[in-house]
Amino acid sequence: MNRVRGFEVVKKYQDQGLTLPRRQTMASAGYDIEAASDITIPSIWTLNFVRIFRLIRNGHELIESDRLAAEKVLKPILVPTGIKAYMPEDEVLILANRSSNTFKRNLSLPNGIGVIDSDYYDNPNNEGEIFVQVLNYGVRPLHIKKGERVAQGIFIKYLKTDDDEPISSQRMSGFGSTGKK
């Protein structure tokens, strides 16, 4: 078969019985992507409560340790998928939330959509493993089981401007790897 686009399991998860993303019906756009391991997503309310409690205790003054604690706990959780995606250079895999996640589970993707670039595949840092960034805005912790579908991936083509000139030729990783600015 001509190899154009698809999913593969990363080395780290080779023998762990992961399922490659599948579409559910003939006309589903999204390949449903599963969690690679059990993971608990704490509620942002619980975390915010801790933050508010600390604020009150400190006479409403936000001191440095509170700020650091709040930032730490409010960071989105990265759900590992154990999956990488390959595709032609002019394509991108868009990670979108499942509507049932917000409707039934209070689970949101705080980055809106995830952009999985074609040059993320096999990058030297993490082999291109896709992670799903999530926040649980419900009041209880959410337990995600290995094999549960957490997001969906949609392959699309992207366009370039006339004077397009990329800054660098190679992607080394993700999540801010191209610099602080």
d(CA 121, CA 89): 11
CB under 6 A: which stretch of 36-44, 47-55, 83-91, 124-132 binds ligand DUT?
A: 124-132
Q: Strand (E) positions, the chain?
A: 6-9, 31-34, 39-41, 77-80, 83-86, 91-97, 107-108, 114-117, 131-136, 142-144, 149-157
Burial 50-69 (b: 16+ CB within 10 A, else e): ebeebeeeeeeeeeeebeee
Work out whether 156 is an interface residue with ligand DUT (CB under 6 A). Answer: no
Work out whether 178 is an interface residue with ligand DUT (CB under 6 A). Answer: yes
H runs (alpha helix) in the chain: 44-57, 64-74, 99-105
Work out whether 133 is an interface residue with ligand DUT (CB under 6 A). Answer: yes
Work out whether 126 is an interface residue with ligand DUT (CB under 6 A). Answer: no
CB of 120 to ligand DUT, least distance (A): 3
d(CA 39, CA 94): 23
CB of 119 to ligand DUT, least distance (A): 7
C-beta of 55 vs 92, nearer to ligand DUT: 92
Work out whether 111 is an interface residue with ligand DUT (CB under 6 A). Answer: yes
Binding residues among 40-79 for ligand DUT as defined by CB under 6 A: none
Residues forming contacts to ligand DUT in the complex (CB under 6 A) are 95, 111, 114-117, 120, 130-133, 173-178
